[in-house]
Amino acid sequence: MSKKIIITGGAGFIGSHVVRLFVTKYPEYTIINLDALTYAGNLENLKDIESSPNYIFEKANIVDAEAVKAVFDKYQPDGVIHLAAESHVDRSITSPLDFVYTNVIGTVNLLNAAKELWKEDYTGKRFHHVSTDEVYGALGETGFFTEATKYDPHSPYSASKASSDHFVYAYSDTYGLPVVLTNCSNNYGPNHFPEKLIPLMIHNIIHNKPLPVYGDGKYTRDWLYVIDHARAIDLVFHQGAAGENYNVGGFNEWKNIDLVKLLCKQMDEKLQRPAGTSEQLITFVKDRPGHDLRYAIDAGKIHKELGWAPSVTFEEGLSKTIDWYLDNKEWLDHVTSGAYQAYYEQQYAH
């Protein structure tokens, strides 16, 4: 069946993988990538599919309600998969308002545009909001986030995502808008902007720069290969129950310091450096304020109800990811020139 789907944030890390999956798997769909191309948006991520007949790019800022409405009026989409966001916790600590504008107001603008366009008949329509496990707050040494875990965000980033989730539920409860949500753990993989842990460390190892580990490095994250997240979004968008959320995670917890050591080991092998070379670059630096100790997802619901499970092990995924960065040095050079240098100096000055 043909469908028109607006994917927001399709030029970003996860969005580009979702766009690629939908454009290639569903040639009968028209995929409209709506993205403002902020520092995190990069059309180079989509070079391989940009001339596909079922792919369209629209540059627009979701904070601008008129611009959003114009794109909805032009394409009359049946579905929205909403990934556009300010996504980096450290940036949210220095510029929280940017997160309120894009993540909260931008989401409400999209909800309004969908509600207005679909008001006569919600049949066959779907608004999929892509969110994070960080809305649930932090875990201690044990336990998992389930779909029933109470929201308890700590950073301005997670507070803005929690707020956007609440608006999505409110539009379902108040107006009957057919929504689904996914709350996913930390992703990694190709095209990840090198402000986040894994690509930042890969970039620094390549360039023999210090590897800045926050605090004591005991903070724990649950890592998922980005293509497995895209597969989960595909399933939930098509088969998820309206009004519900699905937790998505890798069943794959790592303390930051152990993860960085694994990366060092794999990269020493790939770069043919003597074992132990890159580990010497590890530098413990000032901690992030309000740093959440541990995230871990119970992905039992999406597994049981929709049959989803991660398709690659962490070692395989990490190896593929490192290979991608080593094979795409030009991409890495482009995104780390200019504004990135100023960001890095400011963030890691201490």
**125/210 Cα distance (integer angstroms):** 49
Please, what is the angle between helix 197-206 and helix 314-327, to 10°? 50
Q: Is 133 a catalytic residue?
A: yes
Smaller CB separation from ligand NAD, 42 or 278: 42
Strand pairing report for 253-255 and 220-225: antiparallel
Going by C-alpha positions, the residue among 299, 254, 261 that lies closest to residue 278 is 261
Binds ligand TYD (CB under 6 A): choice among 45, 186, 187, 191 = 186
Residues contacting residue 124 through CB under 8 Å, at least 6 positions apart: 78
- The site string for ligand NAD over 144-163 (x = CB under 6 A, - otherwise) reads -----------------x--
Binds ligand NAD (CB under 6 A): choice among 186, 266, 278, 321 = 186
Candidate ranges 34-42, 136-144, 271-279, 294-302; the one touching ligand NAD (CB under 6 A): 34-42
Please, what is the angle between helix 106-118 and helix 156-175, to 10°? 20
Q: Is 83 in the site for ligand NAD (CB under 6 A)?
A: yes
Residues contacting residue 271 through CB under 8 Å, at least 6 positions apart: 205, 206, 326
Q: Is 9 in the site for ligand NAD (CB under 6 A)?
A: yes
Residue 6 region, left (φ>0) first, then alpha (ψ -120 to 50), else beta?
beta
Binds ligand TYD (CB under 6 A): choice among 92, 256, 266, 321 = 256
Q: Is 261 in the site for ligand TYD (CB under 6 A)?
A: no
- Out of 29, 55, 136, 157, which one is annotated catalytic? 157
Q: Is 38 in the site for ligand NAD (CB under 6 A)?
A: yes
Residue ranges that bind ligand NAD, judged by CB under 6 A = 8-9, 11-15, 35-38, 40-41, 61-63, 83-87, 102, 106, 130, 132, 161, 184, 186-187, 193
